[in-house]
Structures are given as structure tokens and as C-alpha cells.
Amino acid sequence: MIPPARTLKFLGTAGARFVVSTQLRHSGGLVWTLDGTTVWVDPGPGALVRALASRPRVDPAKIDALVVTHRHLDHAGDATAIVEAMSNGGFSPRGTLLAPRDALEDEPVVFRYAQRFVARRLVLAEGSRHELAPGVFLETPLAHDHGIETYGYRLSAPGFTAGHVVDTFWMDALPRAYAGVDLLVVNTTREHGRDRKYLHLGADDAEALVGEIKPRVAVLTHLGMQLARGRAEELALAISGRTGVPTVAARDGWLLDLDELEAAATRRRVPPRRPRGDDAR
């Protein structure tokens, strides 16, 4: 079978400290493949192991770009390991590293010696737009409200745009910043947002985003302790019902076919009978 040309692999769906430290869900981040360009976003602790164990296997040596949206552990724990793997241990510099300035300089999430191993090091900033490969663009429209420099992103290839709203407190500018996307991925750490103690979105915020943006499909990920054991799936189903947008909760190991978004979302909503392989959570 010919593999789909455009996919999104969830190497991990864990959100925030406790789910990560207990590995109740994995924290490997996301891997996008768009027309031969592979982009790994937010590799937390264990990301390299999850990539090598996943089926089909994600080959770190073939990663073209590594994006770290902010310098928290659950987004950056394995970043140096990924850079070494994608650059043949630094012996053949290749690929692109993108991160906020404070994650490259103030508190380097990729150790300084390893930052030289990539062919391009790009700084994410509000309004920046980078071409990762011909026709594949990564834009960071908005500085998020998350305590440290943090950027969500829009990733586009001809005829397709995805938006990934990463960690943030609610901002009225969010819907417009991520408007017009085919696929909306929302880091939904809690059931209810708008508590400045956490600076994370809740499922209520995710619903507001989905309802305003109206993507073809929405996916909740970066799920926190409150959303364990089926709660994320329940909330996603409720969001689907109220907004009319097929919305699903991601699972560890899930490979989403971006060419068949609606069909893939429908399949995902049917609970698996028996967990197996790396989709076991």
C-alpha cells in the first residue's frame, strides 16, 4: 500500500506536569508529513523512544524541521536528542531548528553545542513566516499568554492549512489568528480554562475556538489529568454536537491521514475494542 502523502502522527498526547511525569499518556509531540517534508513539534520526555517504537516507525534521521513552541519540559525535553538524531550526531549538519529566542539563548532547550548541528536555526516571533521546503510554510501569528515566550503555529502546503493552538491562557485574538484552517489542533489541558493559575486552555475554550473557526475537523491533544480515562472523548463528542464540527480526542500513536480528514475523524470516534501496539492508551 502506498502511504498517504500527508499525515499527522501523535507520538504523545500528554499535557502538563503530572500526565508527563507519570507517563499516563506519552509526551513525544507531533510529527507532520507534508509532501515529503517532515516536521516534529514539541518532543517532550521520551520522544525519541516513542518515535523508534512507533509503527510505522518515525525515522528521526529523516526529520527536516524541529519546532519547539516554548521551553517547557513537556515540549522540549528530548529536543537535543532529536537534533543529534536528525543530523547524524552532528557529523552531517542538516535540517531546520525553530524555537523562540528565549528557548535558544536564555535557557537553551537544545544544548548550545548541538545547535550547531542543524543547517538552519530560525527564531520564532509573533508574525514570523518561514518556508520549510518549497511550498511548505510555518507561520506563528500570535505570541501566546503562557508565562514564557510561546507560539502556536499555522502549517500550510498547497491546498491545505493546519492550525495548532498550543499552550496558552484564553486570548480574544486566538480565533482570528487561526482562522481559515482545514484542521485545528488544540492543546486542551483542562476541562475549564480561564484560571490564571494554570495559563492553559480548557475544553470550554477549545469549543469556543472550534465554534468560531469552524475547521473541517478539530483534534484535542495535550490532555491533562482531568481529561484522562475517556473524559477527553466525551468532551470532544459534546463539542462535535454543539458546533457541528467533527471533533476528536487524540490518542498516543494515532496516525491521522490529512488527505482523508473527515473519514479519519469518524473512525477515531469509534472506541477501539482492544488496545494494541503503540495505540494502547
> Is the C-alpha dihedral spanning 22, 147, 81, 157 positive or negative?
positive
Q: Which is nearer to Zn ion, 13 or 161 (CB)?
A: 13
Q: What single-letter amino acid sits at 69?
A: T
Where does this chain touch Zn ion (CB under 5 A) — which range of 111-119, 166-174, 189-197, 249-257?
A: 166-174
Place of cell 537553551: 108
Q: Phi/psi of residue 46, each to 5°?
A: 90, 0
The maximal CA–CA distance of the chain, rounded, in angstroms, is 52
Distance CA 73, CA 68 (A): 10
Q: How far is the CB of 139 from Zn ion (least distance, A)?
A: 20
User: Is there a contact between 45 and 73 (Cβ–Cβ < 8 Å)?
Assistant: yes
Does 190 sit near Zn ion (CB under 5 A)? no
Stretch 99-138 residues interacting with Zn ion (CB under 5 A): none
**Interface residues for Zn ion in 60-89 (CB under 5 A)?**
72
Q: How far is the CB of 9 from Zn ion (least distance, A)?
A: 21
The candidate with the shortest Cα–Cα distance to 210, out of 234, 179, 256, 233, is: 179
- Three-state secondary structure call for residue 50: helix
| Smallest gap from residue 71 Cβ to Zn ion (A) | 9
Q: Nearest distance from residue 150's CB to Zn ion, in Å?
A: 7
Stretch that binds Zn ion, among 3-11, 159-167, 173-181, 235-243 (CB under 5 A): 159-167
Q: C-beta of 75: minimal distance to Zn ion in Å?
A: 6
What is the binding site for Zn ion (CB under 5 A)? 72, 167
